[in-house]
Amino acid sequence: VVNITTRSVNLSLFSFSCRRIRLVFKMEFPTWTEKCDSALRRNLTQEIFDKLKDTKTARGTTLKDIINSGVVNQDSSIGVYLGDEESYSAFSALINPIIEGYHQGYKVTDTHPADFDPSHLDAPNPDADAKYIISTRIRVARNLKGYGLTPTLTKEERTEVEKKVVGVLEGLGGDLTGKYYPLTGMDDATAQQLIDDHFLFKKGDRFLEAAGINREWPEGRGIFRNDNKTFLVWINEEDQLRIISMQKGGDMGAVFSRLATAVNELSDKLGFQYSSNLGYLSSCPTNLGTGMRASVHIRIPNASAHADFKKICDDNQIQARGIHGEHSESAGGVYDISNKRRLGQSEVQCVQDMHKGVVKLIELEKSLEK
């Protein structure tokens, strides 16, 4: 529904007085390509479409908004982006089966556990000699209470989120002390340094574009980096916050502890969107639960070529991919190994999964070197 107001316009033959014209556009069931196999296509039946097509949240999120990315980009694996917290209940007939299909073994009626206490983690460095593990990185996705998720943020709200978050980050001390770099007005030298450090994030891809996440780019977006280059916060990227802890080597405990300190401080000062069943909320259902991805870059040329490599990964709830992101190939036997589960697992359990799997892969690599 679009409302158009026209002001008085004088032409040589016509005069239009002020009036409001209401145009109604009917939403049609999507037309799918033959190759489309997204979670959206598998779950959006005509019955569910008819049930939800006129639904709208208090922020104005509609079914069309949620599914647009998956309709425009039919090579999507999931195909939906939620606009606000209410979307998860308002469009549950579509979203719940997608959540349960992706987070296999978890029911949306289950209670999601939370534990971000570093003292509960048992993850000693599995590679003290730094022969295999190149680096460790753990990140979480978070969104502030009282705001929409990124697809529906207005320019003013995005700027407000940025200001609030930066205010807290600039008050952090110890090894979290650092500086904020807004993307708007960033000079070339600063941008190049952040690129060289692999810290700078780019405008979202076509999937995020179709979801509305790239609006007013780069306004209200930026990067906080600590002085030691071991802690980052991306503001208003795919989620309002991507909080990242990292360092060279395999000391997962240190990386997790640093992250926990920052996340707990931010949570106390800002408050995050959270559901007892779905955990921390995100625009993309794949990031529900902990919103955590705990990973290492590890050199395992022999283990990765072994017939049991995939089985070890599957048995230990970890996933392997190239170091340049999803679907990328390995280079020189170096892989990105990360936890597979996010929903139904606590933060401690996510890192424990990753640690256990990495230990097994190192054991296999060592045995094949003999």
Catalytic residues: 139, 238, 242, 284, 286, 293, 321, 326
Please list, in sequence order, all residues whose beta carbon lies within 8 angstroms of the beta carbon of residue 162, skipping any fewer than 6 positions away: 182, 220, 221, 222, 235, 236
Listed residue (216, 102, 223) closest to 169, CA to CA: 223
CA distances from 338 to 54, 130, 314 (A): 40, 18, 11
Q: Which two tokens stand for residue 235?
A: 């503001």
3-class secondary structure, 279 = strand
CA distances from 250 to 41, 199, 357 (A): 40, 20, 13
Give ∠ CA 285-288-290 in degrees, rounded to 5.
Answer: 160
HEC per residue, 208-253? HHHHCCCCCCCCCCEEEEECCCCEEEEECCCCCEEEEEEEECCCHH
What is the DSSP-derived secondary structure letter of residue 289? B
What is the DSSP-derived secondary structure letter of residue 29? P
The identity of residue 88, as a single letter, is Y
Q: Which two tokens stand for residue 41?
A: 């296509």
Q: How far apart are CA 63 and CA 66, in angstroms?
A: 5
What is the DSSP-derived secondary structure letter of residue 332? T
The identity of residue 32, as a single letter, is W
